[in-house]
Structure 1
Amino acid sequence: MTTTTAAPATPELVRTRHYKLPITLTIVTVILGVLFLASPAGGESIFRIGDGISISIGDIHLPAAPTVWTLWVIVALLTVWTWLDAVAYRRTTLWLPIGYAVLGIFAFLAWAAQGGGVVPVAGTLAGALSLSVPLVYGALAGVIGERGGVVNIAIEGQLLLGAFAAVVLSSITHSPFVGLVGAMVGGMLVAFVLAAFAIRYLVDQIIVGVVLNVLVSGLTGFLYGALLAPNGAQLNSAVTFPKWKIPLVGDIPVIGPVFFHQTFIVYLMYVVVAVVAWGLYRTRWGLRLRAVGEHPQAADTVGIKVNPTRFWNVLLAGAIAGIGGAYFTLVSVPQFTKDMTAGLGFIALAAVIFGGWDPIKATLAALLFGFATNLQNLLTVLKTPIPSEFMLMLPYVVTILAVAGFAGQIRAPAADGKPYIKG
């Protein structure tokens, strides 16, 4: 009697179609098409490349209607491309949505500047970068915290206390560098409370973060009314960072004045982004941080102290967020006002999700949100037919669309938000 042994079953490969990106791009494409049809473009759109001072480049005049509809057709084709990728179980390359965003914004600006309106390219980019700096620091703080397994909802509070500490110390010492150090300490204080309750006492991280944001808002508001308002000259008149121009690269047309004629905090941002991106994937620190955020039990078995690692990295994240808070009072304005961060900490959290918990992608997301915020100011100057209430909603609408369109295609660290109990 012969017996036959059945061959082991081959596991089936499960493939998933990702429809969120094509659906999101379809919605945006339809909205743009309806907008362009409802208010047809006419005349010329002018894009001012030079700034009239250091850059002497002529303006670019484009016929509004042909430019708008040509770009709209291209973004529509890119949208179709994403649908074809989804049907064929392919992941859309990152460059396609980036190209879509650039062309879509170009089309929208050409429509907004119809009839001889002028879009100052260098000024728009400089304004977008200025509004993005706190978002970038906040996003990096969020990436570090969540890569280690701690959801840092308290970024808003860290930014706000950092701004408050910076203006007070800079006003007293007449040194922006002392104010910057104070801002880092302020961000670390908020992070310390978050780490103590979330890691040591196992309190829900979301609840702790929200409570801290409310606490810092109330505390700084009280101190502003009790100390800063009656003593503005002594405590609320910060010495700000001056702008420094880097030789050679600072003279590059458009790019130079925007990126290389900046303050110390902006240059420090370039360094911090590069160091965090390199360290997260190329150093022992980054390996241990990712280990405690993905599989803390396995990290514990190889000798990594999970909770201390999380604790110290939350403090590091708080210090970085504090630098972002210092930008408000040591660069943007030399005075502190109540709730001056205006919810940017939450937009920074959206940049973390949109960027897939990656430092570089989160930075790009923060730059996109900063550009959207600056765009509302440009549209007001161009006197577009869009109601002002809708323009105030613009940065938040962009944030929602970005997160809704990409959140389904990315995965958070496996242990993100989960406390670790040894044994």
Structure 2
Amino acid sequence: MSVVAKAAPSKLADRVAIRSWRTPMLLAVLALVAVVLFVILGPEGHATFRISQDNDTWQVPNLVLPAKAFGVVASLVLMGLAVLAWVQLKQQARVAKWVTMAFAVVFVIALMVWIIGGTKTQNITLVGLFAGAMLITTPLVFGSLSGVLCERSGVVNIAIEGQLLAGAFTAALVASITQNAFAGLFAAAVAGMLVSFLLAAFSIKYVVNQIIVGVVLNVLVSGLTGFLFEKIMKTKVDGVAIYNQPVHLPDLPIPFLSQIPVLGPMLFRQSIIGYFMMVLVVALWFGLFRTRWGLRIRAVGEHPMAADTVGINVNRTRFLNVMAGGAVAGVGGAYFTLVAVSSFSKDMTGGLGFIALAALIFGRWNPIGAALAALLFGVAGNLQSILSLAGTPIDGQFLAMLPYALTILAVSGFVGKSRAPAADGDPYIKG
């Protein structure tokens, strides 16, 4: 009797399971788009991917793919995955994650082959694509991790742009004065924390709308750094802007690992900031999902009243997380002036703080997911520049738009649920 009683709810759940046909419909539409682009409009040339550089110890032959034939095969695979999604939803009331992930990977690769096959040069260097993408990806990852720390505890951090910009300015100024890059790096973290202090004080203590505070801080930091840039950094002595000549952080290639094709230049020829970024992604993921500290933070972000009843100081936890997020974003800002450019210019972050927010949402408030989303944005941004030089017929602005379109699809639920922490953005007033 007990077995029947236990089995009945399961069968009832199967009968009343709500099926969302959005994902299969989206995959079917994209499969038809693939047939039109990759088969009907597919170029007749070849797409050549250069895997090794001339000075690499390990030389790997170029990967040459016939654009038209590859488009046909990819379209068949995409159509098969779309049909499989329909079958899975009908039989199991859900689509397996590996189906959507495989569909996305095949579609992106086929799109690259289609684009490159239609360019004048018909080749692209993967090393240059991914290594160059890290110049965009690194500050994006720091910005998105800052958002993870804040929003997992229930505070919306719109001020990431201001924190990155403050870190970039302070790192350049302090490193120029002291001629010590590590002093500039420390000062950048402090600058990010100062911006975060204002965000935490107004949004947590004085219960001001978090979105408004973040926007105001972005405008404030932009105006302040622009003013100080004109008044201080442009000051010249003997024709040299001595306050805008920061010491450069060198790359630290790891022996053997840095010689691995593609992955070596991308991951193992980084500055100390780049290595710190990779360690921080893993450490923050482990801390949030495998430690008591992370459980307390997630409890504060999901149900602050329940967290308060078990003795967790909700507002103090949020305050500390916002401060830590500011330090992380400040270090990301230092990457601009100590690694990427080695000088400061007005509003040099170029809106990457807002893109970091998009990466945070696309990564579903998970440090690893946010880092992978940031990598997607970085590759798309660098691919836009490379293909523009290669003479592709596709408008570069269209390529830059794709990651944001994917983010909209992710947020709208077409590729699965994307839910922020339940108390994200809600102030907590005890009692």
Normalising by structure 1, report the TM-score.
Answer: 0.91
Instruction: Tell me, in whole angstroms, the C-alpha distance in 2 between the residues paired with 1:398 and 1:238.
Output: 37
Residues 85 and 372 of structure 1: is their aligned pair in 2 closer, same or farther, counting only changes over 3 Å? Answer: farther
Q: Give the drift of 1:10.
A: 6.7
> Which residue of structure 1 lines up, in the alignment, with residue 358 of structure 2?
350
1:275 pairs, out of 264, 277, 283, with 283
| Match runs of 1:18-417 below 5 Å | 18-36=20-38, 39-54=41-56, 55-88=58-91, 90-114=93-117, 117-231=122-236, 233-405=241-413, 409-417=417-425
Residues 234 and 310 of structure 1: is their aligned pair in 2 closer, same or farther, counting only changes over 3 Å? Answer: same
Letter in 1 for 2:359: A
Contact 1:67–1:107 under 8 Å retained in 2: yes
Q: Give the drift of 1:316.
A: 0.4
- Superimposed CA distance per residue, residues 258-301 of structure 1 (whole angstroms, 9 cap, x where no aligned partner): 21111111100111111101111222211111111111111111
Unaligned runs of 5+ in 1: 1-6
Q: Give the drift of 1:48.
A: 0.8
Letter in 1 for 2:280: V
Normalising by structure 2, report the TM-score.
Answer: 0.90
> Which residue of structure 2 lines up, in the alignment, with residue 17 of structure 1?
19
Unaligned runs of 5+ in 2: none
Number of aligned residue pairs: 416
Instruction: Tell me, in whole angstroms, the C-alpha distance in 1 between the residues paired with 2:235 and 2:21.
Output: 56
Percent pairwise identity: 52
Residues 202 and 374 of structure 1: is their aligned pair in 2 closer, same or farther, counting only changes over 3 Å? Answer: same
Which segment is superposed worse, 184-193 or 10-19?
Answer: 10-19
Give 3-state SS (helix, strand or coil) of 2:241's partner. helix
> Which residue of structure 2 lines up, in the alignment, with residue 4 of structure 1?
none
Letter in 1 for 2:171: A
Contact 1:187–1:321 under 8 Å retained in 2: yes
Letter in 2 for 1:281: F
Q: Give the drift of 1:308.
A: 0.5
Contact 2:166–2:221 under 8 Å retained in 1: yes
Instruction: Tell me, in whole angstroms, the C-alpha distance in 1 between the residues paired with 2:284 and 2:268.
Output: 21
Give 3-state SS (helix, strand or coil) of 1:262's partner. coil
Instruction: Tell me, in whole angstroms, the C-alpha distance in 2 between the residues paired with 1:169 and 1:156.
Output: 20
Residues 391 and 363 of structure 1: is their aligned pair in 2 closer, same or farther, counting only changes over 3 Å? Answer: closer
Q: Give the drift of 1:215.
A: 1.4
Residues 386 and 133 of structure 1: is their aligned pair in 2 closer, same or farther, counting only changes over 3 Å? Answer: same
Instruction: Tell me, in whole angstroms, the C-alpha distance in 2 between the residues paired with 1:371 and 1:405.
Output: 24
Contact 1:43–1:64 under 8 Å retained in 2: yes
Letter in 1 for 2:344: F
Give 3-state SS (helix, strand or coil) of 2:49's partner. strand
Instruction: Tell me, in whole angstroms, the C-alpha distance in 1 between the residues paired with 2:85 and 2:392.
Output: 31
Cα RMSD, aligned residues only: 2.3
> Which residue of structure 2 lines up, in the alignment, with residue 3 of structure 1?
none
Which segment is superposed worse, 215-224 or 183-192?
Answer: 215-224
Q: Give the drift of 1:23.
A: 4.4
Instruction: Tell me, in whole angstroms, the C-alpha distance in 2 between the residues paired with 1:21 and 1:220.
Output: 45
Instruction: Tell me, in whole angstroms, the C-alpha distance in 2 between the residues paired with 1:269 and 1:384.
Output: 33
Instruction: Tell me, in whole angstroms, the C-alpha distance in 1 between the residues paired with 2:233 and 2:224.
Output: 12
